[in-house]
Structure 1
């Protein structure tokens, strides 16, 4: 086991996880609503990145930052343990906090903001291209690009067939998941995609059984896409 990458991943996950609540709060608005520039205590957020990173003051959830930090640290550690000190590990560690942020926003307001999904796809493609040039990588960049296109097209078809069941934000998130999964192979792409739908289906059935949701209750699918994407680095090739 590679101790140093795992330790560094835990530190990275903790620090970035603590910085997520304010960004999640500011992004968790309906598409037509402006993003808040003031905290719940009616104090203005500073300009620049300092206005996006950190806790939400007087939000009534003082433990939210530590929950995000714990989740992000655990996922980062798991990815580091599975990947080892390979060039693509840097890409995964950059994606994990972004994925946690996307999941929080989707769970709160049922949307995946373009300001996160589009840079995630472009940045992941570019960074994996760099990783593919470095020695020791374990994956295929051309296959990752093809996987991103294939999964994006698959989700687009689902959206066109049933727009109420598959949001367009999910379509824009799909290429990022396709990049992560297809980097490791077509089997990983199939497994991760199946896992996303299986997790979504089981969650829906549990909510129905617990009377926490009805047949027409919309469920955020972004968190399941992101969870399925973990099949790439975590499952054996």
Structure 2
């Protein structure tokens, strides 16, 4: 389990992220939007709590890795929005990725890779299934937030 053997502040940081991310999953499924109030709360709270954990544990490397991983993912997703418009990921997805990938980055680069593979793999499989059953067309849109949350939770459970 991901919180076993972790400091209380690390566990609180993971819990904070999950408390923000799970409602975001359902909101994105329902209305294809990720509200700023929750994405900003997830990012700010998670990064602040992980920063506090880094100070208490005395290992700033994990915090810097979390920040770099989260920023890299957010910039990639935001870049697709800017380059591809509506065919790219939404800016809400980029804001959610900042906190989701930061949580994985805290655990290490293998967790980031696993979370990325789970997220994009599940999204691709779901999209292909919807195309095959003709429930969505080639121009259709899938909310990416639920896959990001589930991929991150899956990587947390497996790390």
Verify same fold: TM over 0.5.
yes
SS in 1 for 2:107: coil
The answer to whether structure 1 residue 99 and structure 2 residue 39 are counterparts is no
- Give the drift of 1:100: 1.3
Task: Name the counterpart of 1:177.
Answer: 100
SS in 2 for 1:145: helix
- Give the drift of 1:194: 2.2
Give matches, 1:185-204, under 5 Å: 185-204=108-127
- Give the drift of 1:135: 4.2
Task: Name the counterpart of 1:84.
Answer: 4
- Give the drift of 1:219: 0.8
Which of 53, 59, 71 pairs up with 1:131? 53
- Give the drift of 1:131: 1.5
* TM-score, scaled to structure 1: 0.60
Stretches of 4+ moved more than 4 A in 1? none
**Would you say the 8 A contact 1:148–1:177 is kept in 2?**
yes
**CA distance in structure 2 between the aligned counterparts of 1:145 and 1:82, rounded to whole angstroms:** 19
Which of 113, 117, 121 pairs up with 2:35? 113
**Would you say the 8 A contact 1:156–1:171 is kept in 2?**
yes
The answer to whether structure 1 residue 215 and structure 2 residue 135 are counterparts is no
* Cα gap change, 1:107 to 1:189, in 2 (>3 Å): same
Give matches, 1:4-83, under 5 Å: 81-83=1-3
* Cα gap change, 1:83 to 1:100, in 2 (>3 Å): same
SS in 2 for 1:97: helix
**CA distance in structure 2 between the aligned counterparts of 1:229 and 1:213, rounded to whole angstroms:** 25
* TM-score, scaled to structure 2: 0.88
Which of 94, 106, 122 pairs up with 2:44? 122
- Give the drift of 1:191: 2.0
RMSD between aligned alpha carbons?
1.9
Between structures 1 and 2, the one with greater helix share: 2
**Unaligned residue ranges in structure 2 (runs of 5+):** none
**CA distance in structure 2 between the aligned counterparts of 1:217 and 1:158, rounded to whole angstroms:** 17
Which of 135, 140, 147 pairs up with 2:69? 147
**CA distance in structure 2 between the aligned counterparts of 1:232 and 1:180, rounded to whole angstroms:** 10
**Unaligned residue ranges in structure 1 (runs of 5+):** 1-80
Structure exhibiting the larger radius of gyration computed from Cα positions: 1
Stretch moving more, 100-109 or 152-161: 152-161
SS in 1 for 2:85: coil
Stretch moving more, 154-163 or 96-105: 154-163
**Would you say the 8 A contact 1:181–1:232 is kept in 2?**
yes
